[in-house]
């Protein structure tokens, strides 16, 4: 028999049965009662002397009625609003959620949902900032494509020589690198610009474009400096291993250098991906933001890499869905049509480039905020896991009982289940 307060097992004296299941003889009125040996009132309620309480639907385990403030159907002793769960009697209470995420360590689905919820709740500010940066990036892509596509025409009249094929491969890789790094530059800018919006969304506060820009303005020089450092670092990590092959036209060196460059680029990007939100939320120096990112990522590199890679796949699929109709329209209105697309001559026309640029502008405007939201929430999640940032966020949001919730096990290593990624 378990005599712990808050619940009673079948066959305990509290339900009027003996250990063998038979009902004991009636006790004299002066005999000690079960309630006499239990904790004082206020911790739990026992049935009155000599009578059994009426059964109540949804009262949880045992015949006892819920305590005042206890949700019907919750385990006995659980606070209002908590229905308990496996792993303990009642389990930890739910974490507060003043904004787009609960204030506890986040799982993958909560991070993705929080990024989408931020876009929905603050769409005016988010899309305004994203549209301006996407337009600048798309102008750079348009000029780069027009400059490099002159060398990407495949001749169908005669067989290309090996040297021409190597040159074509190198030019194609340069065009791909230029497109990637221009989009990366825009992503870094938007991440820094929208970090403040994400922090307001976490606290459940609204933000306007004017108020947000006033908050960003003092940090603009440091944000641009950090963006330049990250861009040059990513450029060096990804391009230097393949640069000898690209400069000499040696296909072997290029093929060997590209995988090495991709590995270095992935390491550099994940290690310092949290630097933009760290700079804008902590408002420190560029070097401090880089150190903070490396410190927060340490020990969680693969988790952050996996979430970032999955986010990139999702946003890439959305970009393709948006861009394909514009590519079809561009092919139709292009002077050379489908044949020109195969030979590469359509890509040289301004008609084709402008129509596809519109599709690229729309796709970047929609998908970049998703990526930046995930990055900012990863920063907040890492600080919650390591520095109990949820307590500070709860105080800032006006949640007064969150400290009690956190103490019950909402953090990894606590008494209750933590939300992993």
pLDDT tens track, the chain, 421 positions: 444 333 333 333 334 444 444 444 444 444 434 344 444 444 444 444 444 444 444 333 333 344 444 444 444 444 444 444 444 455 556 788 999 999 999 999 999 999 999 999 999 999 999 999 999 998 988 888 777 665 555 444 456 666 666 666 666 777 777 888 888 999 999 999 999 999 999 999 988 888 888 989 999 999 999 999 999 999 999 888 988 877 777 778 878 888 999 999 999 999 999 999 999 999 999 999 999 999 999 999 999 999 999 999 999 999 999 999 998 888 788 766 555 555 555 556 778 788 888 999 999 999 999 999 999 999 999 999 999 999 999 898 888 766 555 544 445 443 333 333 3
Whether 348 and 133 have beta carbons less than 8 Å apart is answered as no
The pLDDT of residue 272 is 97
> What pTM did the predictor assign?
0.71
CA distances from 210 to 128, 129, 215, 279 (A): 11, 11, 9, 20
Secondary structure (DSSP) of 40-78: PTTT---PPTT-PPPP-TT--SSSPPPPTTPPTTSPTTP
Whether 118 and 126 have beta carbons less than 8 Å apart is answered as yes
Tens of pLDDT, residues 112-140: 999 999 999 999 999 999 999 999 998 98
Secondary structure (DSSP) of 208-265: -HHHHHHHHGGGHHHHHHHHHHHHHHHHHHHHGGGHHHHHHT-HHHHHHHHHHHHHHH
Number of C-alpha atoms within 13 angstroms, CB side, residue 294? 9
The pLDDT of residue 31 is 43
Q: In whole angstroms, what is the distance from residue 407 CA to residue 409 CA?
A: 6
Q: In whole angstroms, what is the distance from residue 16 CA to residue 403 CA?
A: 41
Whether 413 and 105 have beta carbons less than 8 Å apart is answered as no
The pLDDT of residue 68 is 47
Q: In whole angstroms, what is the distance from residue 364 CA to residue 141 CA?
A: 12
The closest alpha carbon to 203, from 398, 406, 403, belongs to 398
Whether 311 and 317 have beta carbons less than 8 Å apart is answered as no
């Amino acid at each position: 028999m378990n005599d712990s307060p808050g619940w009673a097992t079948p066959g305990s004296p509290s339900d009027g049965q003996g250990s063998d299941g038979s009902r004991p003889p009636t006790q004299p009125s002066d005999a000690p009662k079960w309630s006499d040996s239990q904790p004082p009132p206020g911790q739990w309620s026992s049935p009155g002397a000599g009578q059994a309480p009426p059964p109540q639907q949804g009262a949880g385990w045992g015949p006892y009625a819920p305590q005042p403030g206890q949700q019907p159907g919750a385990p006995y002793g659980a606070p209002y609003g908590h229905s308990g769960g496996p792993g303990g009697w009642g389990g930890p209470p739910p974490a507060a959620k003043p904004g787009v995420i609960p204030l506890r360590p986040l799982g993958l689905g909560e991070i993705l949902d929080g990024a989408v919820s931020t876009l929905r709740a603050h769409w005016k500010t988010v899309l305004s900032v994203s549209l301006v940066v996407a337009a600048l990036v798309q102008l750079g892509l348009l000029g780069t494509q027009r400059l490099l596509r002159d060398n990407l025409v495949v001749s169908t009249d005669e067989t290309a020589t090996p040297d021409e094929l190597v040159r074509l491969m190198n030019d194609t890789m340069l065009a791909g690198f230029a497109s990637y790094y221009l989009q990366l530059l825009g992503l870094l800018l938007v991440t820094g610009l929208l970090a403040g919006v994400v922090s307001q969304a976490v606290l459940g506060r609204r933000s306007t474009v004017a108020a947000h820009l006033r908050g960003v303005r003092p940090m603009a020089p440091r944000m641009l400096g950090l963006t330049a450092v990250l861009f040059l670092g990513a450029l060096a990590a990804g391009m230097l291993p393949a640069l000898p092959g690209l400069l000499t036209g040696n296909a072997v060196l290029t093929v060997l250098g590209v995988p090495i460059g991709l590995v270095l680029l992935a390491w550099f990007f994940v290690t310092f991906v949290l630097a933009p939100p760290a700079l804008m939320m902590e408002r420190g120096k560029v070097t401090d933001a880089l150190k903070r990112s490396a410190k927060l990522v340490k020990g969680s590199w693969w988790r952050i890499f996996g979430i970032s890679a999955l986010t990139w796949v999702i946003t890439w699929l959305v970009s393709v869905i948006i861009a394909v109709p514009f590519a079809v329209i561009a092919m139709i209105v292009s002077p050379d049509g489908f044949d020109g697309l195969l030979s590469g001559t359509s890509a040289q026309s301004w008609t084709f480039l402008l129509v596809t640029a519109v599709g690229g502008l729309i796709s970047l405007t929609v998908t970049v905020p998703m990526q930046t939201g995930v990055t900012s929430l990863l920063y907040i999640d890492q600080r919650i896991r390591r520095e109990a940032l949820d307590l500070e966020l709860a105080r800032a949001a006006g949640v007064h009982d969150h400290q009690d919730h956190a103490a019950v096990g909402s953090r990894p290593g606590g008494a209750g289940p933590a939300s992993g990624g």
